[in-house]
Structure 1
Amino acid sequence: MTALGFLYPGHSAEDDYPRIEMLLASDIRLVLIHTDIGEDAHRVDALLEMGSADRLAAKVEELRLAGAEAVVWACTSGSFVFGWEGAHEQVRNLAKAAGMPASSTSFAFAHAVRELGASRVAIAATYPEDVAEHFAAFLKASGAEVVGTRGSGIITAAEVGTWGRDEVLALARDGDHPDADVVLLPDTALHTAAYIRDLEADLGKPVLTANQVTVWEALRLAGRRANCPALGQLFAKEPIVQVRD
């Protein structure tokens, strides 16, 4: 049995995780602990506070008691707003506090893009445009070429969590770009686990979504392999390749 830990802000699309655990159909257990979200706002100041070291450290003891072998901060916007170097510092602090390997959803996206052998990405974000541009800057720092960035102007995770299949498909279509090798949907508040195959079939290319890559990153940290085509092309590649920054 491998237990993978996730620190998830508030309540919105956390039910993606038991769905993914079921799809993996393995001895992998996904342990999700909710952090204090503070102000629910896709606004830079609120996101910096949401991802502060103290807020994350406050919940790591619960993960240790649950037997987690690795932890991922399951929040994209609450990591990339710190910038490339700041996001590294965030996960270093998290690893030190937790006493286990750590990462974040932002780095999960960067690593997953490399795993797919992609170089050009399109961003289909729920966020306001200014926040989406912070994600674009983060990906550029990782070495990816961002060929398109589209924000949707949604301020709260609570609203994003109400979106269903039709809204998710529309988001991906609107954010796609003909030059993109892969389309990224970077919000862990967005339900996507049930729609990844539909998204890839609709767009005709790989699609990376926040909760999907977050689980993949935790598996990578724990040195586990998982082949699960229901979770898209990222999970159809085996073994998972170790990525060094």
Structure 2
Amino acid sequence: MKGEQQVEAALKSYEDVDSWKTMIFLYNSAMKEVETKLEILNDEFQHVHQYNPIEHIKTRIKTPESIVKKLRRYGYESSIENMVRYINDIAGVRLICSFTSDIYRLAEMIGNQSDLKVLSIKDYIRNPKESGYKSYHMLVSVPVFLSDSVVDTKVEIQIRTIAMDFWASLEHKIYYKFEGNAPEYISRDLRECAKMVAELDDKMLSLNEAIQECIVQEASRRNMDDVLDNVVGTRRGQGVIHFRSQKTE
């Protein structure tokens, strides 16, 4: 409730500014802060491990129409206060990864940020929706520093693989076209596609692990060759290598 009260207080403090614009300003600022944090984490991972867990980052602010529609679906009146209190995904950041292992690695890194508060987690990867939807959702609160106050503002972070994002984007377009009432055969085919996507993710993860193992083995072999070369070179320098002469008849 603290964050919601701070947002409401911030809205009231801008008496000469439209409340809607103020709310969007706060959520947009929070979204930018989270995006910057994630970019820094990705750069750090590249610096330390020579690997980027994040393929790309998408951000969006929910449209007024979507917010009003969601409030009505929840049974609430359309008001700024209800938007702040009951709509958790006004500001959204989506992380697209290559492999499922990256998802949980990123979630842990985000959870370790001292100035981000994780409010809730929904793991739709281990527990997919009935439709077949898979993604990892984190609702976080991030402090937005204004000129005279600090406002904790909610941002929803979604983490998914490239394959999951492809499926989810297609599913969203289909259900948007049918306004949530797609024919059963389409829903069934989407669920089948979701299974294929899961199998693809598993295959690609296994392939990546096999590649990494080959890289480790090759590096180990090269290190051993270097050690042997150094040993041989040292012994030659010390004159301790003896060659056995062959007898000739």
Q: TM-score, normalised by structure 1?
A: 0.27
Higher RCO (Cα < 8 Å, 6 or more apart): 1
By percentage of residues, which structure has more helix? 2
Larger radius of gyration: 2
Q: TM-score, normalised by structure 2?
A: 0.27
